[in-house]
């Protein structure tokens, strides 16, 4: 089968490799669509993310959907021809975290495109059947691939305890921020403010239902959101950028008794914050690591029309043009939001 294999930083090659074999508990999936994630770009450009290093050739890509072509002997709930979205992290099911239901923290997690586990920029992938979900005919494969980033937004919404009437600020209007925007609206948030430095992302956020958008390169986002909330701040702040500045802003924007959810991965090990804000406001801070128990909800929200992923899909390339796709996704050129590889 054809696959895009990363050998080292900036060395991504299209090669022919063996089609994966499956166990009795797995299915073989003919991949249709795969989203280009920021983590894919980071591995491509740097050859590592923090302490996780690409030491051996690796297939990138984890936001994926496709069609089942073969079913393991013990799989009962899926069949050949089923259209599916793949949850790309395969938890062991037996460690203490899996038993507590927080399988995203699994001690033995195997996650697509995280060394040494190969990802989905290829024609076929093997997947544990318990992490494969049928999608309706009304949902495109491209939308199916975006169930993964939407799951991040749903998990952030749950960690933030977003509910009817809550006010929310989201810092960052990239694909994760825009998915989170729709998730918090679907959960009943009364007002949602979102910030970024790129106008085309903010315009998309406005179309998707943001109460107010703030271009942080034109005005102080903290000052603006405090003005919009009569100086009280918001009930929940969700950080989806991963920069020191935006992390510090969350503590200024959060209102008394508020909750902060940190999605963005900061490349630096340390970030200075004013602990007095945490104490005097009695803030709750939640870190986010991937997601758990979100795929059925995400698929339902999209298939019912309550969440619209189509405006996020701005570019689709065949596997043969993956270098161009990575360039546009990395440079965020051509008003790109989500770049998809169609295998």
Record: fold of 2-146+309-342: Quinone Oxidoreductase; Chain A, domain 1 (3.90.180)
pTM for the full model? 0.97
Pairing of strands 254-262, 284-287: parallel
Rg for the chain (alpha carbons), in Å?
A: 20
Q: What is the pLDDT of residues 175-224, one digit of tens each?
A: 999 999 999 999 999 999 999 999 999 999 999 999 999 999 999 999 99
Architecture of domain 152-287: 3-Layer(aba) Sandwich (3.40)
Percent of the chain with pLDDT over 70: 99
Write out the DSSP string of 173-242. -SHHHHHHHHHHHHTT-SEEEEEES-HHHHHHHHHTT-SEEEETTTS-HHHHHHHHTTTS-EEEEEE-S-
Smallest Cα–Cα separation from 312: which of 326, 329, 297?
Answer: 329
> What distance in Å separates the CA atoms of residue 45 and residue 48, rounded to the nearest whole number?
8
CB 156 within 8 A of CB 58: no
Per-residue confidence in pLDDT tens, the chain, 343 aa:
999 999 999 999 999 999 999 999 999 999 999 999 999 999 999 999 888 999 999 999 999 999 999 999 999 999 999 999 999 999 999 999 999 999 999 999 999 999 999 999 999 999 999 999 999 999 999 999 999 999 999 999 999 999 999 999 999 999 999 999 999 999 999 999 999 999 999 999 999 999 999 999 999 999 999 999 999 999 999 999 999 999 999 999 999 999 999 999 776 667 778 888 899 999 999 999 999 999 999 999 999 999 999 999 999 999 999 999 999 999 999 999 999 999 9
Minimal CA–CA distance to 225: which of 287, 170, 153, 281? 170
The length of the chain is 343
| pLDDT tens track for 265-295 | 776 667 778 888 899 999 999 999 999 999 9
CA distance 194 to 286: 19
Domain with CATH 3.90.180.10 in the chain: 2-146+309-342
Distance CA 142, CA 316 (A): 9
Q: Cβ of 154: how many Cβ atoms within 10 Å? A: 26
Which residues are CB-contacts of 247 (< 8 A; sequence separation ≥ 6)?
Answer: 239, 262, 264, 266, 271, 273
CATH 3.40.50.720 range(s) for the chain read 152-287
pLDDT, residue 309, reads: 98
Measured CA to CA, the distance from residue 93 to residue 321 in angstroms comes to: 38
């Amino acid at each position: 089968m054809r696959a895009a294999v990363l050998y080292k930083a900036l060395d991504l090659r299209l090669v022919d490799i063996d089609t994966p074999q499956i166990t009795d508990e797995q299915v073989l999936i003919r991949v249709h669509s795969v989203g280009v994630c920021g983590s894919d770009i980071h591995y491509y450009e740097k050859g590592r993310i923090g302490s996780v290093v690409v030491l051996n050739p690796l297939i990138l890509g984890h936001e994926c959907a496709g069609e089942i072509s073969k079913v393991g002997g013990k799989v009962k709930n899926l069949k050949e021809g089923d259209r599916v979205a793949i949850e790309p992290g395969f938890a062991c099911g037996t460690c203490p975290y899996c038993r507590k239901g927080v399988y995203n923290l699994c001690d033995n997690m195997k996650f697509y495109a995280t060394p040494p586990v190969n990802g989905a920029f290829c024609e076929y992938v093997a997947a544990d059947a318990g992490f494969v979900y049928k999608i309706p005919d009304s949902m495109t494969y491209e939308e199916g691939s975006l169930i993964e980033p939407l799951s991040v937004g749903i998990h952030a919404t749950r960690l933030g305890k977003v509910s009817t009437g809550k006010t929310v600020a989201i810092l960052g209007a990239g694909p994760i921020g825009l998915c989170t925007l729709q998730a918090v609206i679907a959960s009943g948030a009364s007002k949602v403010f979102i910030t970024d430095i790129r106008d085309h992302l903010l315009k998309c956020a406005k179309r998707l239902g943001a109460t107010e958008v703030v271009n942080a390169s034109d005005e102080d986002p903290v000052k603006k959101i405090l003005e919009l909330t009569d100086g009280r701040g918001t009930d929940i702040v969700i950080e989806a950028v991963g920069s020191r500045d935006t992390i510090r802003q969350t503590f200024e924007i959060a209102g008394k008794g508020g909750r902060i959810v940190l999605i963005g991965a900061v490349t630096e090990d340390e970030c200075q914050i004013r602990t007095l804000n945490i104490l005097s406001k009695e803030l709750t801070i939640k870190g986010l690591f991937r997601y758990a128990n979100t795929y059925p909800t995400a698929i339902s929200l999209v298939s019912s029309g309550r969440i619209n992923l189509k405006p996020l899909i701005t570019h689709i390339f065949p596997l043969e043009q993956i270098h161009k796709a990575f360039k546009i996704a990395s440079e965020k050129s051509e008003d790109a939001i989500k770049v998809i590889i169609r295998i």
